[in-house]
Chain A
Amino acid sequence: MKKQILDLRVLSNAKLNHNHNVLELGCDTPLPAMVPGQFAEVRVDGSPSTYLRRPFSIHRVDKGANTMHLLVKSVGDGTRNIASLTKGSLLNVMFPLGNGFTLTQNEEVLLVGGGCGVAPLYFLADQLFRKGNKVSVLIGGRSAGDILLAEAYRSFGNVYISTEDGTLGEKGMVTAHSVLKQSAFPFRMIYCCGPDGMMKAVAHIAEAKGVECEVSLENTMACGIGACLCCVVETHKGNQCVCTEGPVFNSKKLKGWTAETEIGCSLDK
């Protein structure tokens, strides 16, 4: 998959809640092939305090329409700048970057997303569904307003929700949801994206249940192509770049992510 830098046109900008937007991007030339889990590095123009590109998971791809979507959480000036782009604006995007999730076939799988961690899971759910998997999606957030895109996932399978304040779905941490506590655990694979603490806790559950777990990391990065070595994560094979060896890792490869890890999970982290 050759990496490209393209000026993509904003076709639409949908506001999901007070700090999340989905940008639909298109191009006159065919977009490169992408797989779920990969990401894009977006240049931020017009934000003087933003120097580096910003990484975003590829949220959704519509091959027929030649479009891709990015889910943008407004955190600082750079991301606010991207989130405020209007239809017709151009966005300089370097993609597709990184590896992807392992796509199972004809299995029962669970996708767990916390906060804006649902971003890569839409594309993933879509592809897993097409491969004959029975897909379930578990989404967690602090409050009902933080639960993103729950309806959109229903076309792929069951959707479970938990909120820390109980305003939607089960009350409590996403990792305490009853779907993860079934004694006859139906899932053969768990895919997870969210805060590190949440992902570690999910990885621990997966380990206890004896199923594989892939997590998508979002370490701070500069180049996105393995040149600067800034975004490393400690693996059992030493420090590896999240941007090239990841962003998706089997949790067993990550140092400190298995049984001996103390479980802590809060979406505040």
Chain B
Amino acid sequence: MANLEVNIHKLKLKNPVLTASGTFGYGEEFDDFIDVSSLGGIIVKATTSKHREGNAYPRMAETAMGMLNAVGLQNKGVDYFVEHIYPKLLKYNNCVIANVSDSTVEGYVEVAEKLNKLDHIHAIELNISCPNVKEGGMAFGTSCPSAIAVTRAVREVYDKTLIVKLSPNVTSISEIALAVEGAGADAISLINTLLGMAIDAEKRRPVLSTVTGGLSGPAIKPVALRMVWQVSKVVKIPLIGIGGITTAADAIEFMLAGASAIQVGTANFIDPHATVKIMAGIEDYLNRHGISDVKELTGGLML
């Protein structure tokens, strides 16, 4: 039996399979289908300092091997999260990670401070990469000074593992990665969605209420894989690969490119069993290749 445990800074994951924020609700949506606790961990829907209604409908457009979304961080705010959602997460005995976003540095800090007190939130993932909000979100993740400012401010108030989720909508993802590593990030997850657009030619109108939205799904996998590989060359902190991962082979490719763990996102929408199938597939791969420890895959690409 191969060892599937991986470490992301202080986090011990029982296996490298996590769920991408915004694609897995708060876990309970998947309880009918899978044993959520069997995953390496879950990253729950983004939490902001205040309640957010999100963007107007339509928020979704199907694309070739993927989809665009423009949800816009709909959530009930951190106080509601602490009071009503957190208690429901206690039933999961794996790592529970909260995704944190906001429109101001002060807002990020407020959420991080409140989550820092919750024993069963083992880490936070700083979302400086949401393309669907007018202020904040991706704006923080597309320039080094603002990425540094928000990472540093949150680092000061957050003691546990701090993951920063990067936007692919930048000229050089390596520069941003280095910047957040220098600002105190313990790990980096990448990539968030690629900014895209869909048009209804018959109506001559954009499909999404926000005109542009975030592209996810297998369509973005090659871009994500390239970015994980590039960033792995320049930073020392662990990486978590995200971008169209649908099969165990996809997950293994991200690990070979340099990721220590991976997140399954849009695939959850088509197959709620995707995560557990990927876990089983990784184990099968290790057995077939006589690899005793999944950690050996990380950065194992042969050039």
Contacts and interface: CB of A to CB of B under 8 A. Distances in A.
**Do A and B interact?**
yes
A53 B218 CA distance: 15
B57 A223 contact: no
A46 to B, nearest CB: 14
Given A223-B269, A227-B268, A227-B269, A51 B60 contact: no
Interface string B163-174: 000000000000
A209 B268 CA distance: 44
Contact of A49 (B23, B60, B64, B71): B64
Interface in B20-34: 22-25, 29-30, 32-33
Contacts of B67: 51-52, 222
Contact of B59 (A224, A225, A229): A229
Contacts of A17: none
A33 interface: no
A51 B71 contact: no
A18 interface: no
B57 A226 contact: no
A52 B270 CA distance: 6
Given A225-B29, A227-B29, A43 B57 contact: no
A64 interface: no
B30 A227 contact: yes
A222 B60 contact: yes
A182 to B, nearest CB: 35
Interface string A39-56: 000010000011111000
Contacts of B25: 225-227
Given A3-B33, A51-B270, A233-B57, A228 B66 contact: no
Contact of A52 (B22, B56, B62): B62
A3 B32 contact: yes
Contact of A228 (B30, B56, B60): B60
Interface string A209-243: 00000000001111111111111111000110000
Interface string A1-13: 0111100000000
A239 B70 CA distance: 14
A231 B60 contact: yes
B63 A51 contact: yes
A187 to B, nearest CB: 30
B273 A5 contact: yes
Interface string B1-31: 0000000000000000000001111000110
B62 A230 contact: no
A31 B76 CA distance: 36
A51 B59 contact: no
Contact of B69 (A43, A94, A228): A228
Contacts of B58: 219-220
A230 B33 contact: no
B54 interface: yes
Contact of A223 (B66, B74, B218, B268): B268
A50 B22 CA distance: 21
Contacts of A221: 60
Interface in B233-274: 266, 268-273
B141 interface: no
A4 B62 contact: no
A51 B272 contact: no
Contacts of B24: 227
A147 B7 CA distance: 61
Interface in B259-303: 266, 268-273
A53 B74 contact: no
A4 B33 CA distance: 7
Given A5-B33, A239-B74, A232 B59 contact: yes
B53 interface: yes
Given A3-B32, A238-B53, A51 B64 contact: yes
B217 interface: yes
Contacts of A231: 57, 59-60
Contacts of A50: 62
Contacts of B54: 229, 232, 239
B201 interface: no
A53 B268 contact: no
Interface string A183-214: 00000000000000000000000000000000
A52 B32 contact: no
16 contacts: A5-B272, A51-B67, A51-B218, A51-B270, A52-B67, A52-B269, A219-B58, A222-B60, A223-B29, A225-B25, A225-B272, A227-B29, A228-B269, A229-B22, A230-B60, A233-B57
Interface of A: 2-5, 43, 49-53, 94, 219-234, 238-239
Given A3-B32, A49-B64, A53-B269, 12 more contacts: A3-B33, A5-B273, A43-B270, A52-B67, A220-B60, A220-B61, A222-B69, A222-B266, A226-B25, A226-B29, A229-B54, A231-B57
